[in-house]
Amino acid sequence: MLEIVSWAAVALILFTATTMLIHSDWRITLGALALQYLAMFWLVTRHLPFAMGSVKLITGWMVVVILGMTRLGLTNIEEEEAFFPRGQAFRLALMSIVALVAAGASPRIETSIPGLGLPVIVGGLLLIGGGIIHLGLTTNILRVILGLLTMLAGFEILYAAIESAILVTGLLAVVNLGLGVVGSYLMLAGSTPLESEEDL
Amino acid sequence: MSAPILWIVIPFLTGVFIFLISSERYSAWVGGGVSAVLSAVAFFIPIDTALLLGTLSIKIAPAIQVFGRSFELNAADGLLLTIIYGLASLWFFGAKASGSQSRFVSFGLMIVALLTASIAVEPFLYAALLLEVAAMLVIPLLVPSYQRASQGVVRFLTYQTLAMPFILFSGWMLTGVEASPSDLGTTLQAGVMLALGFAFLFAVFPLYHWIPMLMEETPPYATGFLLWALPTFIAIFALGFLDRYTWLRNSPQLMSAIQFAGLFMVASGGIFAALQRHLGRILAYASISHTGLILLAFGLQSPQMAHLVFLTLIPRGLELAVWAFALSIIKRKAYSLQFSDVQGLSRIYPVATAALTFAHLSITGFPLLAGFPSRLALWQSLTNDLLLLFWVFVGMFGLLVAAMRTLAVFVMTEEPGWKLSEGWAQAVMLAVGVSGLFLLGIFPQILQPLLANIPSLFEHLGR
């Protein structure tokens, strides 16, 4: 039963990572990110205690809220840069390649690091691949942050299986929150008036 | 009182306090003063040794436990802390005079505290996480709230974040390599992971393009601080890896790869610097070239390696501080920092332009300046490989050409007469900085106490 739920989490990860990649609407993208953290939570708790997994889930959702609130408050935002390749078909093809690579590489990783579990490896690799594709396709600040968060989520799924220190979990939560705050700051920068003459 | 509280928690909280009070007038003095005091305490009061002052006994405990892991600063770290906080105080004292934002000091203190935590944390591998947090704190310094975020900043954040997983994974894999050193597959994977992680952190070619972009788009003083602080602590972190894993420092292939990467950075940094027409970009390429020299020193398989790394690292803080400070002053007059905008500026800003030139020459390795002793030692260590030496020379020559071009542009004017446009504080600080450059160049033995202390910083390096 647990295995089936784990594979369902992997399917959810594939769905959310693809949605984030092909949709330009920030509301849908952030919604997908929130769902992604739910799937990540399940996979992380395969190896970490429930409480430590919850930290990652709550942190992730806090990041989604921070980014969402910031984006909501911005009015004069330039649309994402239009540069080739931006077609949805191309992005779908890229995500398919990532899925194929993850499916192909996972059994080998499972052999060399026994005990991780195939769903954990596939889920982790899908997120890492999806995040890196995201970073490669855009220079838009919100999307870069989303790419970094996605990549880190994948890394955290895999790393949770080999390192369960509370300090690491705490610091990774700080890094995730920090990325959210920095992303918000970078989105806001330039949209506020000068603070004082000294700023000139 | 324990050492981590003194040199990590207190400066961090001071940074938070300065941020909250947000007083531009006092922040530089408070931040600089706290750093100077911490530097003096590190110098005069040995860690983990009882000190009797009359009837009062003082002892700084070396470690604290946080969530089951320890943060530890030993007696051997004392001189390192002296230098780190001493150089940090120079940066903070100069903040107001350079016209930096008030939050430079507050965030700067927090960054230095986090970076100090990165050398204190055990297992040392967790330093990668602290370096990432420190890198994120740099962002508000680079992007003022009224300015749109540039691509250089986004790439900097991306590369620093990408480095962290590689380092953490490689650390875990290295433990496996230690357990079964004959497993070549795992060894290779761990080596590649580690190399990629440090390539991102050190901004090895071709991952360094964000540095010139930053220097062009962001405040030079903040970027100079970043170019001093992060590579310094990353180098110490990398030395920790070499010290911890015997096979790493005994692997000729890995050492050759590090040397090649360093050589490429030295040569390309120097050549690109010679071709620039923007003062900020020249500084960027000079710092890239300098990081290449540090990597070259890493690649030396000799007991002198750690000494050479520190001998190269320490003057870097002063050189970059003087250079970035002078650039900040010049930028107030010529906003773009293009050659066309700074022509003849030596007549109006004689102290700033002279200081900038001396700092540049020092990084080039010019005799009598702070950079010279380390270059001389490095050249002596590389004498058995003439090709390597040739390309190092090309890089240094490129930097020298850039210095000469800059100097030519500064004095290129037909207007007669001189004017001192720098404020007295600016002039005094620049003069002190340049004096420091000469002092370290003429009397390099000042650094001897620290260099002699290096074997106690590491278990295996420097012995």
Summarize the confidence of residues B297-310 as an average pLDDT. 85
B143 and chain A: CB distance < 8 Å anywhere? yes
pLDDT at B177: 77
User: Tokens for B368?
Assistant: 């009598």
The model's confidence at residue A193, banded by pLDDT at 50, 70 and 90, is low
In a mutational test of the A interface, the residue from B154, B155, B167, B175 whose CB has the highest number of chain A CBs within 10 Å is B154
Q: What is the C-alpha separation between B38 and B26, in angstroms, rounded?
A: 18
Which chain A residues are closer than 8 Å to B136 by Cβ?
A: 175, 178-179, 181-182
Residue B41 pLDDT: 92
Provide the shortest C-alpha distance from residue A193 to chain B (in Å). 6
Q: In this structure, are residues B112 and B35 in contact, taking their beta carbons and an 8 Å threshold?
A: yes
The answer to the question of residue A115 being in a domain is yes
Give contacts of B 186-245 with A, CB under 8 A. 186
Interface test with A, best of B136, B193, B207, B213 (most A CBs within 10 A): B136
Residue A196 inside a domain? The answer is no
Which chain A residue's Cα is nearest to B139? Answer: A182
ipTM: 0.91
Calculate helix-pair angle for B127-142, B151-179, nearest 10 degrees: 170
Extract the tokens encoding B427.
């002039």
Average pLDDT, chain B: 89
Tell me: the pLDDT tens digits for B114-139? 999 998 988 888 889 999 999 999 99
* pLDDT tops 80 at residue A53: yes
* For range A19-39, the mean pLDDT: 91
- The model's confidence at residue A65, banded by pLDDT at 50, 70 and 90, is very high
Residue A78 has pLDDT above 60, yes or no: no
Q: How far apart are CA B10 and CA B112, in angstroms?
A: 11
Average pLDDT of B160-176? 88
- Look at residue A199 and tell me if it is in a domain: no
Task: Calculate ∠ Cα B298-B301-B306, nearest 5°.
Answer: 50
- When pLDDT is cut at 50, 70 and 90, the band that residue A86 belongs to is low
Tell me, what's the pLDDT at B359?
96
Is B154 an 8 Å CB contact of chain A? yes
Query: Are A171 and B140 inside 8 Å of each other by CB?
Result: no
Q: Which residue of A has its CA nearest to B66?
A: A167
* Residues of chain B contacting residue A195, judged by C-beta atoms under 8 Å apart: 145-146
Q: Where are the alpha helices (DSSP H) in B245-385?
A: 246-249, 252-275, 279-298, 305-333, 339-342, 350-364, 372-381
Whole-prediction pTM value? 0.91
Give B362→chain A minimum CA distance, Å: 32
Give chain B positions within 8 Å (CB) of A133: none
Taking an 8 Å cut-off on Cβ atoms, the answer to whether A166 and B67 are in contact is yes
How many domains are contained in chain A? 1
User: pLDDT tens-digit profile of B178-214?
Assistant: 777 777 777 888 888 889 999 999 999 889 999 999 9
pLDDT tens-digit map of B40-76: 999 888 888 887 777 788 888 888 888 888 898 888 8
Distance of CA A118 to the CA centre of its chain: 20
Quick one: B311 exposed, middle or buried, by C-beta within 10 A (0-12, 13-18, 19+)?
buried
Quote the tokens at residue A99.
């899925």
**pLDDT, tens digit, 9 for 90 and up, residues B261-283:** 999 999 999 999 999 999 999 99
Q: Chain B contacts of A186, Cβ < 8 Å? A: 139, 143, 149, 153-154
Pairwise pLDDT comparison (B319 vs B252), residue with the higher score: B319
Chain centroid to Cα B60, Å, comes to 27
Phi/psi for B343 (5° steps) reads -60, 130
Return d(Cα B210, Cα B227) in angstroms, integer: 12
Residue A84 scores a pLDDT above 80? no
Of A28-32, B182-186, B329-333, B405-409, minimum mean pLDDT range: B182-186
State the pLDDT at residue A195.
53
Query: Is 70 exceeded by the pLDDT of residue A13?
Result: yes
pLDDT tier at A83 (50, 70, 90 boundaries)?
very low
Judge: B69–A193 Cβ closer than 8 Å, yes or no. Answer: no
Q: In this structure, is residue A192 part of a structural domain?
A: no
Read out DSSP for B324-357?
Answer: HHHHHHHHHHSTT-BHHHHTTGGGT-HHHHHHHH
User: What is the Cα–Cα distance from A129 to A147, expressed in whole angstroms?
Assistant: 10
Question: Measured between CB atoms, does B140 come within 8 Å of chain A?
Answer: yes
Give Cα separations from B317 to B86, B272, B322 (angstroms): 10, 22, 9
**How high is the pLDDT of residue B462?**
65
pLDDT-based confidence at A62, cuts 50/70/90? Answer: very high
Q: Which domain holds residue A164?
A: 2-73+84-187
Task: Pick from B58-62, B307-311, B397-401, B456-460 the range whose average pLDDT is largest.
Answer: B397-401
Distance (Å) from the alpha carbon of A1 to chain B's nearest alpha carbon? 30
Between B82-96, B316-330, B440-454, the lowest mean confidence (pLDDT) is in B440-454
pLDDT, position B163: 93
Interface-testing mutation among B145, B150, B189, B200, with chain A (most A C-beta atoms within 10 A) = B145
Provide mean pLDDT across the span A118-129: 93
